[in-house]
A = this chain, B = another copy of it.
Amino acid sequence: MLGKLIAEKMEDLTPGQQKTARFLLENSKEAAFLTASQLGEKVGVSESTVIRLASALGFDGYPALRMAVQDLLMERLTTLERIREYSGKEAKSLFHKAIKSDIDSLSWVQSTLDVKTIERLGEEIAKAKSILVVGHRSSRALAYYLYHYLSWLFANVELLDIETGIEKITRADEKTLVIGISFPRYTTWTVNMLKYAKKRKLKVAAITNDYSSPLARSSELVITAPWNPLSFIDSFTAPISIINCIILAAARTLGDGVRDKLAKLEEIWKETGVYQGKEQPGDAAKATIDFKE
């Protein structure tokens, strides 16, 4: 390990070298990428001093030293990532591990959420004349979820199915927004639907695991959700959480309209008896009170 090596030889180093060595340890995140002269400038010594530090520490040259710093950094990164994955050491059962991994995914979402793109998607949803949601196999659960809540707020929301998907895209109005959802191993159908939608010049958005996903290629708006398969299951907690955000974003563009729409829906539900009796009055509409941040 580099730290130990430096500590050992520290006293044999010249003042300038010591200063440089300390910088390496304290700012390895930055130093790992610098050239000898850049590092020298940062520390306030000459390029030569930096290079001499490398050989004083026993390295074959400055590039070798820098590589050691890079290893240090990589190790730190993988450790952190491993902690993230397996921090369920104290977790007792397989189940607890599974849940822990979901929590970690959400923490990751929490600190990397692309608020702007979600807000833009919200606006596009509100602007669109009609919305087609595309998702197949396991992702169909997500697609259905999105579809269901968007239907509360907007007319002309459809969940595409295999039988009629192509036709619906073919006939789609220009101001149609297509939202595709798929995660590795991406379903061919979803990929093709989005490709086709793009060809037809519809607005296309994708909810997927990465910008390198095949969905991203056909999509104007890409929203990523960490994809953490759990044994053979794609755990969809993080995507669900993100889809919640998308629905909220879309709802927010409606302003007070949301409350009215929900109130109207509720009335209908009451009349038709979809839900079990003794409804807390105004439940759905009331819940929106805290809705504007």
Which segment, of A39-47, A76-84, A164-172, faces chain B?
A76-84
Provided the pairs A148-B140, A210-B3, A274-B188 are in contact, do residues A10 and B217 lie with their beta carbons within 8 angstroms? yes
Expressed in whole angstroms, the minimum distance between the Cβ of A174 and any Cβ of chain B is 22
- Could you say how many copies of this chain the assembly holds? 2
* Cβ of A264 to closest chain B Cβ, rounded Å: 13
A145 to chain B, nearest CB (A): 4
| Chain B proximity of A57: nearest CB distance (Å) | 13
Residue A248 at the chain B interface, CB threshold 8 Å: yes
What's the tally of chain A residues with a CB closer than 8 Å to chain B? 107
A14: interface (CB < 8 Å): no
When the two chains form their complex, are residues B142 and A141 in contact, meaning their CB atoms are under 8 A apart? yes
Question: Across the two chains, which residue of chain B brings its CB closest to A82?
Answer: B111
- Known contacts A191-B276, A288-B232; A102 and B241 CB within 8 A of each other: yes
CB-contacts of A26-52 with B (<8 A): 26, 29, 32-33
24 contacts between A and B (CB under 8 A): A3-B212, A3-B224, A7-B212, A10-B212, A25-B210, A29-B74, A29-B77, A32-B33, A33-B70, A80-B80, A83-B110, A91-B110, A95-B248, A99-B106, A99-B109, A106-B106, A138-B148, A140-B144, A141-B145, A232-B284, A233-B248, A237-B237, A237-B240, A237-B241
